[in-house]
Structure 1
Amino acid sequence: MAKKPVTTRSGRFFRLAGMTASVAGQYAGQRARRIFRSDEDNEGARSESYTRMADQIVDTLGELKGAVMKVGQIASQTQDFLPKEFSDALERLQKEAPPMPFEVIVGQVESELGKPVSELFEYLQEKPYAAASIGQVHRARLHDGTDVIVKVQYPGVDESCDSDLKQLRMALKLGGLLRMPKEHVDQLFGEIRVRLKEELDYENEARNLELFQSFHANDDWVVIPKVFESHSSRRVLTMELVEGDHISEVTPEKYDQDTINLIGHRIFTMMADQLFRYQCIHGDPHAGNFAYRPDGTIILYDFGCVKKLKPEIVEAYRNALISALEEDYAALDQHLIALGARVESQPAVDEAYYAMWRDILIQPFRSDTPYDFADSELHKDVAAKTTTVFKYLDYFKPPVESIFIDRMIAGHYWMMKRLGVQAAFREELEKYLRQSPD
């Protein structure tokens, strides 16, 4: 029997508190049993315990949706501060969430917009168009015949944001899952909280939509939906229905390789423009937030998570990339300090360590020969070297100001791979690195 959805602050608190107590108990028990085991047995038991705790946390986050689920999604792309078992389990949260009952959605729409659904729309489709962490989307039609999609925030999510984050942080701490100093945890969760507060404000998202429409006004290959303010509020956002093919529908029957490569170049241009020219990025680049058309058009959805970047952070990022390309690792070390990714009080990092990561990450930019993302194993190469992070754990910290840049790049890598893009980006990258923002 399906559990009744949790839509109250107290309900969310008790569900999360129960999860935290269980995880803390498992961790304490595992530590106590460790005394009587060999190192090899301890490693296997630790992994099994982490997997059990991770599964319980992920199941709870997926059920509650909201801030905790969104943090889980971010954490799955920030794998250097959590055990692998936990990061792997968190990847499940990247999948679409199970939908909220329709009567809950109708109640939220009517409460927010102050009218019965029948007065607002000719129809509001019961089956969700998409379901995500903090809300879900339904197709609808206005009374003038305009087809729209209506994004509806789950009840109770925004009021519970701070409480949810505290509970999740406590669960990770008591489960022995956080691998960094309190100061760095404070910075990381502080940044996530700010982004979540923005994402929970659909009026802010409407402003972001207009901002990105202005960014891409001259790019006729980028489509961003129009907002209907008359049918929108802080927790309900009504936009024009703009359809394209989900990444799973980009097949050889509809898209030849030249078109896929064109889309790849356009994705790179869009990403680089947002980072280096506009210094403002679309910070949630998963497959569900993009669609495509056989003429090479890219459609962007969901502008709740937008990160406005400080000019000095963009400059430090630019300089770090230039230093890496030029194999100037002493300069790279300094630029990573400026970026907030390196602990300044620690001595310089061994250049061989930087060279190892540079040789892995430069693969798509190594030459002017097209790189085949479909066959790319860059992510496996990264995973194979993650254990080396522990040697320098005290030297690095989560780059709070640039964490969403890393998230954007990782998300676009996976889209390029799924699309099967074959393209050379070295010349384009160097062009962006050597030009000043307009």
Structure 2
Amino acid sequence: MAKKPITSRGGRFFKLAGMTASVAGQYAGQRARRLIGREQDEQARSESYGKMADQIAGTLGELKGAVMKVGQIASQTQDFLPKEFSDALQRLQKEAPPMPFEVITAQVEQELGKPIHELFEYLQEEPYAAASIGQVHRARLHDGTDVIVKVQYPGVDDSCDSDLKQLRMALRLGGLLKMPKESVDQLFAEIRERLKEELDYDNEARNIHLFRDFHKDDSGVLIPAVIDSHSTRRVLTLELVEGDHISQVSPERYSQDTINQIGHRIFVTMADQLFRYQCIHGDPHAGNFAYRPDGTIILYDFGCVKKLKPEIVKAYRKALVAALEEDYQALDRHLIDLGARVENKPAIDEAYYAMWRDILIRPFDGHQPYDFADSEIHKDVAAKTSTVFQYLDYFKPPVESIFIDRMIAGHYWMLKRLGVQAAFRSELEKYLADAG
């Protein structure tokens, strides 16, 4: 039996306020212990963080909406929150319990202005998928077209601003935000802007038309078409285009050559969006991709799309070129242009840049195929995160490019889970040269 959802702004506010008070109390207790000389050891501090993280993740998962989406973003952004919180928030990528069907049908009828039986031959009660701000159901139009219907949870858009304020307060009072106030302001402003776009299904429909145009000449990339007659700001109906979830890509049905072909398509699609179109799919987790044994990839969910400023793409390209060429003075300058490095600080030790370059360059280091299945880049990055403290005041989260980093991280995990073996160095150099 599905739990009755909290859809009113007041109900959401009090739920989040209770979470905030609890987290703030736990943090105050930590500080008090430190002040009287009872410093927690690392394990005790980690356990305390873990307890707070579980409470926040549980509340966000129950409320869905803006706060759950922020949790998903935070889980992929290591410099946003302590590791314990990133780990706990990873659950929000998988755990999205469905809304009751009567809530969904009421929302559809209110938005489309007709009873369900007039709109569809059938609307399946079992959700096709459940996510942070909406739920997807399979259906069929009266002309026989199989479709999926994406329905926004009631009250989510009205409570977006209030939710974000409460979540930010909880993170601040819990002593959890690891960045200056100015960067926090920029980050939450950027997240709010993206969420407002994502809560507008008319905007998503426009994004789908745009990306279908981007990839219209690539027969190996499919994007479902919008059914405009059955779509509004809070309901989006798309043609049904099915493929295998990444967990279904098995050796019995997918040869290594096919997996490598899929990996190549993933890389080219990502690079095209970044360097050619300067407009990226900003939510690249496994649930938004599907695959077919002929090597086709299918892209879903275009609510979170980030249009990039040309100067950001240019600085990003120059930083990549400098890193590839091991020109660390140039890399330092380009990171300042990108907004990732504080301009009035002295130059960074080149050995520090070299350390990170040697870890992150591996898939592009030479022209031999790189086996993503065996990749431990994420482990090596985690092992070196403590080194960032020596330059903590030198760097700031580059808000303009946070979605680029998120896109790259999401694609890395897909290539790893698929077990792609591919050499992308020549391809990358071509994009960097073309972008220049």
Q: What range is the shorter-chain TM-score in?
A: over 0.9
Alignment of 1:382-401 (within 5 A): 382-401=381-400
1:96–1:299 distance in 2 versus 1, CA, 3 Å: farther
Unaligned runs of 5+ in 1: none
Other-structure match for 1:244 = 243
The number of aligned residues is: 436
Unaligned runs of 5+ in 2: none
1:4–1:85 distance in 2 versus 1, CA, 3 Å: same
The alignment's C-alpha RMSD in Å is: 1.1
**Percent identity of the aligned residues?**
83
CA contact under 8 A between 1:76 and 1:88: conserved in structure 2? Answer: yes
CA contact under 8 A between 1:96 and 1:130: conserved in structure 2? Answer: no
Other-structure match for 2:30 = 30
Other-structure match for 1:43 = 42
CA distance in 2: counterparts of 1:231 and 1:66, whole angstroms: 23
AA aligned opposite 2:18: G
- How far off is 1:35 after superposition? 3.6
The yes-or-no answer on 1:164 pairing with 2:163 is yes
- How far off is 1:179 after superposition? 1.2
CA distance in 2: counterparts of 1:379 and 1:339, whole angstroms: 23
Other-structure match for 2:363 = 364
- How far off is 1:43 after superposition? 2.6
Q: Which segment drifts farther, 58-67 or 387-396?
A: 387-396
CA distance in 2: counterparts of 1:2 and 1:391, whole angstroms: 48
CA contact under 8 A between 2:61 and 2:95: conserved in structure 1? Answer: no
- How far off is 1:42 after superposition? 3.5
Alignment of 1:416-435 (within 5 A): 416-435=415-434
CA contact under 8 A between 1:80 and 1:389: conserved in structure 2? Answer: no
- How far off is 1:33 after superposition? 1.8
Alignment of 1:72-111 (within 5 A): 72-111=71-110
Other-structure match for 1:131 = 130
Which SS does the other structure have where 1:125 is aligned? Answer: strand
Alignment of 1:281-360 (within 5 A): 281-360=280-359
CA distance in 1: counterparts of 2:159 and 2:344, whole angstroms: 37
CA distance in 1: counterparts of 2:80 and 2:384, whole angstroms: 14
Cα deviations across residues 48-98 of structure 1 (Å, max 9, x unaligned)?
111111110000000000000100111111111311111111111111411
Other-structure match for 1:410 = 409
Other-structure match for 1:194 = 193
AA aligned opposite 1:240: E
CA distance in 2: counterparts of 1:38 and 1:331, whole angstroms: 46
AA aligned opposite 1:342: R
CA distance in 2: counterparts of 1:252 and 1:407, whole angstroms: 29
Other-structure match for 1:12 = 12
CA distance in 1: counterparts of 2:3 and 2:244, whole angstroms: 33
CA distance in 2: counterparts of 1:96 and 1:417, whole angstroms: 22
CA contact under 8 A between 2:125 and 2:137: conserved in structure 1? Answer: yes
Other-structure match for 1:231 = 230
Q: Following superposition, which runs of at least 4 residues in structure 1 exceed 4 angstroms of deviation? A: 36-39
- How far off is 1:389 after superposition? 1.2
CA distance in 1: counterparts of 2:128 and 2:155, whole angstroms: 21
- How far off is 1:193 after superposition? 0.6
CA distance in 2: counterparts of 1:363 and 1:275, whole angstroms: 20
Other-structure match for 2:206 = 207
CA contact under 8 A between 1:324 and 1:332: conserved in structure 2? Answer: yes
| TM-score, length basis structure 1 | 0.98
- How far off is 1:277 after superposition? 0.4
AA aligned opposite 2:273: Q
CA distance in 2: counterparts of 1:38 and 1:56, whole angstroms: 25
Cα deviations across residues 273-319 of structure 1 (Å, max 9, x unaligned)?
00000000011000010000111111000000000000000000000
CA distance in 2: counterparts of 1:139 and 1:116, whole angstroms: 17
